Amino acid sequence: MLSPSSGNTVIKSKLIGRRMFLLTAAKAIVTFGIIGRLVSLQINERTKYKTLSDKNRFREWKLAPERGVIKDFFDKEIASNQQVYQVHLIPENSKDIEKLFVRLKTILNITEKKLFYLRRVITKQKPWEPIIVSDNITWSEFSRLNLFLHELEGVKPIVSVARMYPDNSSAHILGYVSQVSAKDLQTKKYLKELHVPGMSIGKTGLERKLDEEIIGKIGFQRYEVNAYGKRIKQILINEGQAGKSFKTTLDFEVQKFSSELIKDKAAAVCVMDVYNGDIVSLVSSPTFEPNEFVHGLDKNYWNSLIKNEMKPLTNKAIAGLYPPGSTIKTLVALSALENGVIKPLDTFKCEGKIELYGEKFHCWEKDGHGIVNLRKGIQRSCDVYFYEVARKLGVDKLSETAKKFGLGKKVLNGFIEERAGVVPNTKWKKKFIGQNWYLGETLHSGIGQGYFQSTPLQLCLMTAQIANGGFEIKPRIIFDKKNNNLREYIKYKNEYPNDPLPTDLLISNFELKPLFKNQEHINLIKDAMFSSSNEPGGTSYRHRWENKKFTFAGKTGSSQIKRFTEAQREAEVKQESLPYKDRDHALFVAYAPYSDPKYAISVLVEHGGSGGKAAAPIAKKIIKKVLERHELRERIDSLLGEQV
Amino acid sequence: MFRARSIQSSLSIKDKFLSIDYILVISIFILGLTSILAMYSTDGGELRYHTQSHILRFFVFFGMFLILSFIQIRFWHSQSYLIYILFFILLLGVKYFGLTSSGSKRWLDLYFMNLQPSELMKVGLILFLAKYYHRTSIENLNRIRYLFLPVVVLIAPIILVATQPDLGTALLIAAGGLTVAWLAGVRVKFFAISGLAFLALLPIAISFLKPYQKSRILTFLNPERDPLGAGYQIIQSKIAIGSGGLFGKGFLQGSQSYLDYLPEKHTDFIFTLFSEEFGFFGSLFILFLYAIIVWRIIKIGNVTRSNFGKLFCYGFGTAFFIYVVVNMMMVLGLLPIVGSPLPIMSYGGSSMMAIMFGLGIVMSCKVYKDTPVN
């Protein structure tokens, strides 16, 4: 009994031992499995989980920075900030969003559409990120909201600041701000770190150009929160940084004055300091109300803007392209002189038209100007004279000079709406139109028609560079004390008229870039422009200033929209009797005062008819205004100079 | 027979002390101290309720373990069935007099502590089956007649525990019992047949599952299914462990637990907390301690003469291992959250008591390794 039992026990022990061995092997495998999992979580994926853990720990609330202001030359704020009342809502703090919406609807003026939009926003963002229910409510709504606040869990009344434009005269050059769109986030890199719900960014004009700097640095509050979203402690607070403020070269008074002058027309005005390129005024008409864009645009207003035939949203001064018309004649004459094609006293006979290459080319003066030299050609704006000059000069040489003076390229930096225009030549035509140049087209180019396209700003720059004696300047709109070299050069020349240094060397000492071979040629053009404005027979003689202080020298131009038919020419159809859309664009460029040029101006009136009639009177008034304010400007300039 | 008796009777007190497995005792002690450290961290770095009562329990039950070690192996053998019956009565008591907490009835109020008999039953069943299979001859082992009693003693407590409801503990009780049966030599085909029967009954079983239990299983299969609901625990636990990295965030620096992202951090998720604060190396350290403990238990099974001792040590050692890995795999996201404590580390008196009770019997097997039991 004992023996089999003990034998049995031994067999059993062996069986147990065998099975235990199998179990031990299984345990080893499971243990290694667990170690493997630990390796994968704590070593391989530790960065991922650390990030997730930090996301658990911290919550950030971003604070929108205050946008910098834009000032004019006299430190008047032309784009400023204004206190606004807003309603924010933190979804996770509200127990029942729908109930809250119903309650909010009775207190504020919220449409069903807006609520629909808000619901969509809520699903898209983190529950602790605030959504903006309304970004601009009235004081009475705001106080009512505060009264009922205790029953509105999750709602936060906020006093914030938003963009405000005191006036719409500078709407085009300043541009406007509006809500960040999905496309903005994609295309603008600097917004990636900056995005705060409800923040506005510059969409056009200076607001857009300066956006990156003017927007400021975002602030944030970082809290450690527990699993229930309760703030445990504040880890970090960064107030952010208000955006940089900018001082511009604009004169708000002149802006308002010019804007008022052209308000009923589709027109543009550009005024520039001829020595340093400071843009004193740049207005386009009709204008729009930039404040409307700040807090979500009203659809009706938007429709009225885009349906308006006079295109109020376009900044015509830099984005409107017009054939320069007769204003180009200054450059044609200069180019011909510089290239030695003509002498100032060479004459041509104008009989009202010439026939070349089997085509008739008309002068605007049906009866002709008779014997015409350079000075008379510019004074009377004789087309036949310039047909002859252009024929001799050739389009390629003309285009070279035109480009040197800033035509055919963007002259301002960083304005997306600015357009380059066209300075045609044989190569250009071959490349863009795919055809050879016809000689007849040279003649059209000689009077600024045909393919020529320019902006009023370019024409202003062209005139300024003639007025300052033929030196290159760069238009600028952001105030910058530097770059007074040209003025100093002129001052030096006046003080030491007999300086033995060769002019070339002197010019390069002042880091100037001359646009001429012989400065005498520039003076000839300036003198011819004087005669055009101030001598009987000149195209803008009727609108001259007798007062020496305001005397300007200018050049009229009208750019043709439709070619006159022979029949119309015979019938002597007047511009005023044509349909609005078919009338010529009126142009006028000038510099003033003649004796000591300070400013250049260009005026464009779309479908205004002739430059002398429609554009020159406007320029005349603005010139007076600008020159009256010159001393004030000068004083500020010298004050600022001392500070440095 | 006589020789054996003489050896046993010749054991002096000194011999008994010398025959204790000190490696096992020291490992348990270090693990206990580590658990106190972890508990201190769950209390946010203060000596508060959980830490205080954990310290008390550890030392009380550690003392109990040492005392039980010197009780004759024969006593354990002779009283096995009685102990099982006692635990079973306690389980029945839970059904009628139990305390209900968070939807399940698991505890008996013993005034000085709330006892969870299901934890004790984990050891009680192993003890019962170790004796049963010690006494069953190898010829009879696989006869249906002899399978009847084991099945009853296995099923009865499991049903009681599962209906508390406490599915996790029920499964762990079953795991311990099945291990002993298998080790004793019950044919694999019986396990296979009962496994198939279980599968066949599974749909019916599922229909009895509470919604939260169903959702736990679904959540395990896809934790991101409901990140703020049932999947929350698994996700947050993985974040805590993963963010610990190699060296951990430092003692008392576990942001996940400190900021209440970890659910039940002092019980089921204590390993997560430790892992977050001490990193990969800390986790390995814990794993290493448990490996030593399991190794020593199995080793004691090897050296003990009686099949009762072997079966108990192997069975308990394996069950202990299963408790550890089930808990770890659970917090590592490898198993559904079934609610099983980590032996010794987790806060909980009954679990500590049961483990120390089992370890005491194991140590008794060591001290009286050459003593025959019948």
Q: What is the CATH number of domain A252-643?
A: 3.40.710.10
User: Among positive and negative, which fits the CA dihedral A466, A467, A469, A473?
Assistant: negative
Instruction: Give the number of other CB atoms < 10 A from CB of residue B304.
Output: 26
pLDDT tens per residue across span A357-405 = 788 889 988 888 999 999 999 999 999 999 999 999 999 999 999 999 9
Which of B284, B307, B328 faces A12 most closely, judged by CB atoms? B307
Between residues A563 and A66, the one the model is more confident about: A66
Radius of gyration for the alpha carbons in chain A, expressed in angstroms and rounded: 36
Q: Mean pLDDT, chain A, as a whole number?
A: 88
**DSSP alpha helix (H) spans, A339-433:** 374-380, 383-393, 395-404, 426-432
B242–A41 C-beta distance less than 8 A: yes
Which of A24, A37, A42 faces B244 most closely, judged by CB atoms? A42
Which of A8, A224, A227 faces B137 most closely, judged by CB atoms? A8
The A-side interface with B (CB below 8 A) comprises 2, 5, 8-9, 11-13, 15-17, 19-20, 23-24, 27, 30-31, 33-35, 37-39, 41-43, 45-46, 48-50, 52-54, 56-57, 224-228, 232
Residue B208 has pLDDT above 90, yes or no: no
A37–B244 C-beta distance less than 8 A: no
B138 neighbourhood in chain A, CB within 8 Å:
8, 11-12, 15
Distance between CA atoms of residues A535 and B72, nearest Å: 135
List the beta strands (DSSP E) in A256-392. 267-273, 279-285, 348-350, 353-356, 359-362, 370-372
The residue behind tokens 């099975």 is A19
pLDDT tens per residue across span A286-343 = 999 999 898 878 889 999 999 998 999 999 999 999 999 999 999 999 999 999 999 9
B287–A19 C-beta distance less than 8 A: no
Query: How many Å lie between the alpha carbon of A128 and the closest alpha carbon of chain B?
Result: 15
pLDDT for A3 equals 39
Distance between CA atoms of residues A337 and B293, nearest Å: 106
Q: Which helix (H) or strand (E) holds A134?
A: strand A131-137
Distance between CA atoms of residues A538 and A533, nearest Å: 6
SS3 state at A283: strand
The two three-digit tokens of residue A171, written as one number:
């709407």
pLDDT for B216 equals 67
- In chain A, where the domains are located: 59-247, 252-643
Residue of B nearest to A10 (CA): B307
Q: Kindly write down the DSSP assignment for every residue of B199-256, as one continuous string.
A: HHHHHHHHHHS-HHHHHHHHHHH-GGGSTTTTTHHHHHHHHHHHHHTTT-S-TT--HH
The B-side interface with A (CB below 8 A) comprises 1, 137-138, 179, 182-185, 236, 238-246, 255-256, 259-261, 275, 279-280, 283-284, 287, 291, 294, 298, 301-302, 307, 310-311, 314, 318, 321, 325, 328-329, 332, 334
SS (H, E, C) B74-121: HHHHHHHHHHHHHHHHHHHHHHHHCEEECCEEEEEECCCCEECHHHHH
Which range of A109-113, A188-192, A424-428, B45-49 scores highest in mean pLDDT? It is A424-428
Q: What ipTM was predicted for this assembly?
A: 0.90
Q: Is the peptide bond before A536 cis (omega within 30 degrees of 0)?
A: no
Once rounded to an integer, what is the mean pLDDT over residues A264-285? 94
Residue A261 has pLDDT above 50, yes or no: yes
Query: How many Å lie between the alpha carbon of B311 and the closest alpha carbon of chain A?
Result: 7
A24–B242 C-beta distance less than 8 A: no
B253 neighbourhood in chain A, CB within 8 Å:
none
Residue A547 has pLDDT above 80, yes or no: yes
Q: Which helix (H) or strand (E) holds B60?
A: helix B49-69
Distance between CA atoms of residues A443 and A384, nearest Å: 9
Distance between CA atoms of residues A603 and A599, nearest Å: 13
Residue of B nearest to A27 (CA): B321
Residue of B nearest to A26 (CA): B318
Span of A209-213, A401-405, B195-199 with lowest mean pLDDT: B195-199
A23–B329 C-beta distance less than 8 A: no
The two three-digit tokens of residue A42, written as one number:
């704590």
Between residues B355 and A10, the one the model is more confident about: B355
pLDDT tens per residue across span A44-67 = 998 998 888 887 777 777 778 889
Residue B51 has pLDDT above 60, yes or no: yes
pLDDT tens per residue across span A8-26 = 788 888 888 899 999 999 9
Query: How many Å lie between the alpha carbon of A26 and the closest alpha carbon of chain B?
Result: 10
SS3 state at A45: coil
Which of B241, B307, B310 faces A42 most closely, judged by CB atoms? B241
A49 neighbourhood in chain B, CB within 8 Å:
238-239, 241-243
Give the domain A59-247 fold: Penicillin-binding protein 2a (Domain 2) (3.90.1310)
Between residues A304 and A154, the one the model is more confident about: A304
B256–A50 C-beta distance less than 8 A: no
Judged by phi (left if over 0) then psi (alpha if -120 to 50, else beta), residue A311 lies in left
pLDDT tens per residue across span B302-354 = 999 899 999 999 999 999 999 999 999 999 988 887 778 999 999 989 999 99
Q: Which helix (H) or strand (E) holds A337?
A: helix A329-338
Query: How many Å lie between the alpha carbon of B163 and the closest alpha carbon of chain A?
Result: 30
Distance between CA atoms of residues B368 and B75, nearest Å: 11
The two three-digit tokens of residue A269, written as one number:
């005005």
Which of B183, B275, B279 faces A16 most closely, judged by CB atoms? B183
Which of B236, B280, B307 faces A42 most closely, judged by CB atoms? B280
What DSSP designation does A68 have? P
The residues with which A372 forms a beta bridge, in sequence order, are A348
Contacts 24+ apart (CB under 8 A), A342-346: A342/A374, A342/A389, A342/A392, A344/A373, A344/A374, A344/A375, A344/A524, A345/A373, A345/A374, A346/A373, A346/A374
The residues with which A175 forms a beta bridge, in sequence order, are none
